[in-house]
């Protein structure tokens, strides 16, 4: 009798464990050939993990419930988000180090390239009409109400009475855009004064501005927060950061330099992770939605310039065009810029070391 009783208890325990496992596991398997539909009896939720750079946080967080509503209407399935917002370089390193983001939205394509080089992205993420970009902006100068120091252009940032803010390019993609803009402006000025683009001139120009930097924060968002707390007289930042705050009633002044750089921010699906999570379909739908007129209009609302051609045309009157805008190719492309400016013996580190 004792052995029968023990056998009976064992069957009950085994059944409880089995039921517990089946209720804890949530898998989503699309019906082959039927996009957006799922087999009966599958879980009513799907998780999407998003790793983004800090500056894009406000726009993305407004878009998430809109896509959630759209996906629910199309599939009957609720999207559960896991989100992380960090400086772009920090976010890229986190993804490579084990943070299993399905979607990466970062400040610069070089950070996506490092994820690809680590083997996590296996498709050609640039191969679409927007070349893998989700938003655009430009590097501008921000001053406090009334522009009390009469900042007009990059040259004013070399003055002894001006305290400057921009983040650390070692951790922040936004900071690299800032440094690229200053260095590129130096090249443009050397063309005007010397008749050719001179790297030594541009390095010295960057060095003069950096001498007035008040602090190097971890990210563009952290730098903006420091400026809001009263640190510094002028901030070098994304145009969208200032436009978003002005729209909320903060009386900042935007100064668009004569020479500045076009910022392009990338988005990519992380193949390794979506394959592990079995959520490629929702990830691809989210990606496509980010390029839609609705989503791009919300990026514009938050101060970004759209990559969607229709939205860009509709919103062009909202944005002032710089007298001379250049892109990363003017500096030789990202591979050249990483070596020239940000390698161990690059110009940026020479500036830090006062060489």
The pLDDT tens digits for 142-167 are 999 999 999 999 999 999 999 999 99
Of 11-15, 217-221, 296-300, which one has max mean pLDDT?
296-300
CA distance 297 to 171: 29
Q: Which residues contact 210 (CB under 8 A, 6 or more apart)?
A: 164, 351, 352
Q: What is the pLDDT of residue 124?
A: 97
**How does the average pLDDT of the chain come out, rounded?**
88
Please state which of the ranges 9-18, 24-33, 102-111 shows the lowest mean pLDDT: 24-33
> Using N-to-C axis directions, what is the helix angle for 173-194 and 199-210, rounded to 10°?
130
CA distance 122 to 25: 28
Confidence band, pLDDT 50/70/90 cuts, at residue 22: very low
Distance from CA of residue 292 to its chain's centroid?
18
285-314 per-position pLDDT tens digit = 999 999 999 999 999 999 999 999 999 999
End-to-end CA distance of the chain: 88
Confidence band, pLDDT 50/70/90 cuts, at residue 43: low
Quickly list H helices, the chain.
2-24, 57-75, 88-97, 109-117, 173-194, 199-210, 220-228, 239-247, 271-277, 280-290, 293-301, 309-314, 334-342, 347-352
Please state which of the ranges 1-15, 43-57, 333-347 shows the lowest mean pLDDT: 1-15
Confidence band, pLDDT 50/70/90 cuts, at residue 221: confident
């Amino acid at each position: 009798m004792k052995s029968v009783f023990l056998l009976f208890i064992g069957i009950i325990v085994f059944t409880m464990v089995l039921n517990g496992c089946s209720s804890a596991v949530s898998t989503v398997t699309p019906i082959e050939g039927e996009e957006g539909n799922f087999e009966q009896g599958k879980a009513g939720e799907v998780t999407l993990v998003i790793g983004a750079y800090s500056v894009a946080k406000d726009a993305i967080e407004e878009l998430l419930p809109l896509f959630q509503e759209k996906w629910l209407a199309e599939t009957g399935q609720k999207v559960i988000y896991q989100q992380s917002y960090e400086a772009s370089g920090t976010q890229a390193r986190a993804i490579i180090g084990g943070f299993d983001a399905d979607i990466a939205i970062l400040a610069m394509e070089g950070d996506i390239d490092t994820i690809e080089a680590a083997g996590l992205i296996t498709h050609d993420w640039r191969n679409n009409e927007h070349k893998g970009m989700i938003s655009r902006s430009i590097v501008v100068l921000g001053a406090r109400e009334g522009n009390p120091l009469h900042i007009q252009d990059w040259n004013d940032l070399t003055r002894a009475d001006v305290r400057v803010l921009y983040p650390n390019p070692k951790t922040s993609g936004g900071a690299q855009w800032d440094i690229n803009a200053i260095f590129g402006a130096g090249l443009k000025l050397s063309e005007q004064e010397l008749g050719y683009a001179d790297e030594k001139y541009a390095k010295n120009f960057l060095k003069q501005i950096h001498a007035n930097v008040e602090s190097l924060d971890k990210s563009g968002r952290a730098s903006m927060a420091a400026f809001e707390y009263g640190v510094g007289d002028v901030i070098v930042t994304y145009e969208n950061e200032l436009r978003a705050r002005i729209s909320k009633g903060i009386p900042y002044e935007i100064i668009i330099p004569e020479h500045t750089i076009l910022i392009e921010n990338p988005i990519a699906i992380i193949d390794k992770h979506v394959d592990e999570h079995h959520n490629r379909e929702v990830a691809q739908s989210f990606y496509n939605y980010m390029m839609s007129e609705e989503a791009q209009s919300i990026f514009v609302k938050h101060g970004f310039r759209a990559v969607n051609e229709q939205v860009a045309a509709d919103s062009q009157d909202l944005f002032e065009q710089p007298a001379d805008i250049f892109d990363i190719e003017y500096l030789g492309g990202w591979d050249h810029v990483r070596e020239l400016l940000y390698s161990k013996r690059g110009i940026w580190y020479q500036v830090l070391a006062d060489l």
